[in-house]
Amino acid sequence: MVRTVSGGGGKDKYDDAKDFLDKIGQQVHEEIVKKEADGTDASGDAKKYIKELKGNLTISTIFGGETVSSPNPCKLESEYTELISGSGSSVAAGTVARGDPCGKDGTGNDDLKRFSKESGGECDEKKIKDNKGKEGACAPYRRLSLCNKNFQNMNSKDSSKAKNDLLVDVCLAANYEAQSLIRYHDQYEATYPSSGSGSSMCTMLARSFADIGDIVRGRDLYLGKRKKKK
């Protein structure tokens, strides 16, 4: 039985605390979108830059500047495979092989140990920005080995390629991250059938995609093996 949570005014009811926060987030999102669309807020200025910032998979230089098989990032499996190896009919000449986005060896083989206890937790100030000593936040297991290793081989020097090519690499990372989490989710549910975690696959994917978004925007707090934030 789902316990309902009443709002402060007694009018709204929510299934649980998460449902309550989700609804608040949705409301804030809708208000911001409306303000940006009609220009009633200072954030309306951002509308002018949407075209400049929006990437297009079909004209990425990675794919030779030609139309790929589909503008849908979920239907580019063959292109992703060729990008990983750096060769194939859809990949432009001279494109650097990205390697497998998962694991640490560039092959994805060690992704099988992604949520293993062998990795341990990482909480000290050398790994988490703004932590003091061993106090503060810890990096969640999913963040310790995100399927974003292809980012290391991106062209980060040429700004003309930043928009469309970056979108390709982000979609590649998201695609493999989703496959990895789906596989681990099934294993977890089979091992702990009565865990009652309550986390849906969509919630798990949203959190990992948010981690990838933080990296792209330079807001990631996890420093990894770096001794200081670059």
- Give the model's confidence band at 170: pLDDT under 50 very low, under 70 low, under 90 confident, else very high: very high
- Banded model confidence at residue 172, pLDDT cuts 50, 70, 90: very high
The rounded percent of the chain whose pLDDT value lies above 70 is 59
**What pLDDT was estimated at residue 143?**
79
pLDDT at residue 9 tops 60 = no
E strand or H helix at 5, and its extent? strand 5-6
What would the mean pLDDT of 76-89 be, rounded to a whole number?
Answer: 88
pLDDT score, position 1: 40
Whether the predicted pLDDT of 216 surpasses 80: yes
Beta partners for residue 128, in sequence order: 222
Tell me if residue 55 falls in helix, strand or coil.
coil
Better-predicted residue by pLDDT, 86 or 162: 86
- Over its C-alpha atoms, the chain yields an Rg (Å, rounded) of 21
**pTM higher than 0.85, yes or no?**
no
Give the SS3 label for residue 36. helix
